[in-house]
Amino acid sequence: MIESLPRLLNATKVTIELTLLSLLFGIFVGVFFALLRTSKNRVFYFISYYYSYIFRGTPLLVQIFIIYFGLGQVEWIRESFLWILLKEPYSCAILAFTLNTGAYSSEIFRSAFETINKGVLEAAKGLGFNKLHIFFKIKLPIAIRQSLPAYGNEMILMLKGTSLASTVTLLDLTGVAKHIISTTFRPVEVFIVAGSIYLIMTFIIHNFIKYLEKKYSYE
């Protein structure tokens, strides 16, 4: 049980990396599609709507399989520049995770944007703020604060979702745990250690979000 710890901790780095990179890219994707969704242009609205519909409506495992094993079978993709990215399991996993968390985040941010009090925006207009100013100085900060609790949830879901990286040959925490089990044949002990590491990480995320919520509370 203890002997497996150093290898599992080492693999935790991969898990953290996958989580942070996907969340980082996912925020941009999420904000982008949230803006499309609140746009008055019907085409933008539908693009955003169906993106979120498809990625929230299918399992992450299926998405990662389609991107990794599926696209790899298509010959013209293998011959295109896309293959540089899609050849590597690491970038395939990041791509799948980003698109998945991006879809959920876009819904979180959209609802946050929609709950902004119209009076605040009118006041800003009255004070002579221009559109960019209003977006960056008023809309975005309020939306971020609004979406913190829901987004914290999404961060935790993404952390646990990265365990699927092991299905495309990546040696993340789950991948290495399975690898150790395949030579020691001790699933219970090793998975308990791996599960505890996940638990510690979700504990950190949970408290980080709680801290932010407090710091940016309205009171």
Partner 1 sequence: MNIFKKTILTIFASLFLTVSVSADSIRIGTEGAYPPWNAKDESGKLIGFEVELANWLCIYMGKECTIVEQDWDGMIPGLIMRKYDAIMAGMSITDERMKTINFSQGYADEVAQLAVMKGSSLEGMDTPSGINLSLGGSDVKSALKTLTGALAGKTVCVQTATIHQNFLESGDVGSVSIRTYKTQDEVNLDLTAGRCDAALAAAVAFTDYAEKSGKDVVLVGPTFSGGAFGNGVGVGIRKDDTDLLKSFNKAIDTARKQGKISELAIKWFGFDASM
3 binds partner 1 (CB under 8 A): no
Query: Rounded distance, CA 2 to CA 63, Å?
Result: 35
Query: Angle CA(155)–CA(26)–CA(32) in degrees, nearest 5?
Result: 130
In the chain, the amino acid numbered 125 is K
Q: How far is the CB of 68 from partner 1 (least distance, A)?
A: 9
Q: How far is the CB of 65 from partner 1 (least distance, A)?
A: 10
In the set 58, 169, 196, 207, which binds partner 1 (CB under 8 A)?
Answer: 169
What is the widest separation between alpha-carbon atoms in the chain? 69
179 binds partner 1 (CB under 8 A): yes
Q: For partner 1, what does the binding mask look like between residues 23 and 62, x meaning CB under 8 A?
A: ----------------------------------------
Query: Rounded distance, CA 34 to CA 108, Å?
Result: 8
78 binds partner 1 (CB under 8 A): yes
81 binds partner 1 (CB under 8 A): no
Specify whether the CB–CB gap between 157 and 214 falls below 8 A: no
181 binds partner 1 (CB under 8 A): yes
Q: How far is the CB of 188 from partner 1 (least distance, A)?
A: 9
Burial 107-119 (b: 16+ CB within 10 A, else e): bbbbebbeeeeee
Binding residues (CB under 8 A) for partner 1: these are 69, 72-73, 78, 87, 89, 167, 169, 178-179, 181-183, 185-187
